[in-house]
Amino acid sequence: MMFKKVSFIFLFSIGLSVNAQQAVPFRITKHNNIIVKTLVNKKDSLDLMFQIAMEDASISPERQRKADHIVFNNEEVSEKNTVQIGKLTVNNVRFFDNEITGHEADGKIGTGIFKGKAFKIDYDNSQFLIYDKMPDLKDYESTPLFSENGQFYIVADNVIDGKQEEVYFLLQSGYSGGILYSNQFADEKELGKKLNLTGERTLKNSAGKSIVTQQGILPFLKLGNTVLKGVTAGFFAGDLKTQKSNYFGADLLRRFNWIFDVERKTAYFKPSTYFSEAYYKMN
């Protein structure tokens, strides 16, 4: 009898571990960036921006907090760091030095913290959920996820000048706005003539170089069966044009809750509480 009881407890504990999930809290800034509080190498308390477009981590030259216990080599790289985020501890994290990051952040942290796990960006509850096994996907749509050099791309349909265009977008949580088009796409589609332009602004890239973008309105963006209307869209103007990818920015990412499978081949999404919020205006 005792054997049966112990066996039941053992099997029950196995069941729990298979379906275990871990929650990692974050906060969302007014610029749509995700900030996680971290402790690096058990010494440095840093606010890092989650950057879905990278695997590793980095430190900004404009950081507000000290990072004295991250030791960089001559190539401005630091290997084998330990990062604690809430109850999650991640070892062997690589940091790069001197990379510009988002507002209110001392640096960036990428998707490497979820390596080998399925994970969810839960905007409704301001947390990441990490899964050993895929969760319930009821009410979620899915879209193929294309990975390249640790970056994720999805396909969405754009309606420009009455014509539907299929576009590959890089998921880019460091860009506060909606869409940022590549130079090639903007030039080929003559977006300066076809979008309703609303303004112009200057951005800084990760190297700190200034580049000029024009802002406009995309009438419709369709992701799966979900349609977004009046999406803010930008593209580069002037002589310095370095944009090689189309960005699906943080203002669009926050409008959905996302689940990414372990293999990073499929993204699942459903509207979040932010879905109908006013679009972010680039200053």
- Residue 251 domain flag: yes
Residues 178 and 127 in one domain: no
Q: Is residue 24 scored above 50 in pLDDT?
A: yes
Mean pLDDT over the full length of the chain = 89
How do residues 92-139 score in pLDDT, each as one tens digit? 999 999 999 999 999 999 999 999 999 999 999 999 999 999 999 999
Domain boundary among 83, 109, 131: 131
Q: How confident is the model at residue 237 (pLDDT cuts 50, 70, 90)?
A: confident
Segments forming the whole domain that contains residue 198: 141-271
- Residue 40 domain flag: yes
Residues 118 and 145 in one domain: no
Phi/psi of residue 60, nearest 5 degrees: -90, 140
266: domain CATH number is 2.40.70.10
Q: Is residue 5 scored above 60 in pLDDT?
A: no
Per the structure, the count of domains in the chain is: 2
pLDDT of residue 212: 80
The pTM is what? 0.88
Domain boundary among 75, 96, 131: 131
Q: How confident is the model at residue 238 (pLDDT cuts 50, 70, 90)?
A: low
Q: Is residue 7 scored above 90 in pLDDT?
A: no
Q: Is residue 16 scored above 50 in pLDDT?
A: no
Q: Is residue 153 scored above 90 in pLDDT?
A: yes
- Residue 2 domain flag: no
Separation of alpha carbons 202 and 197, rounded Å: 15
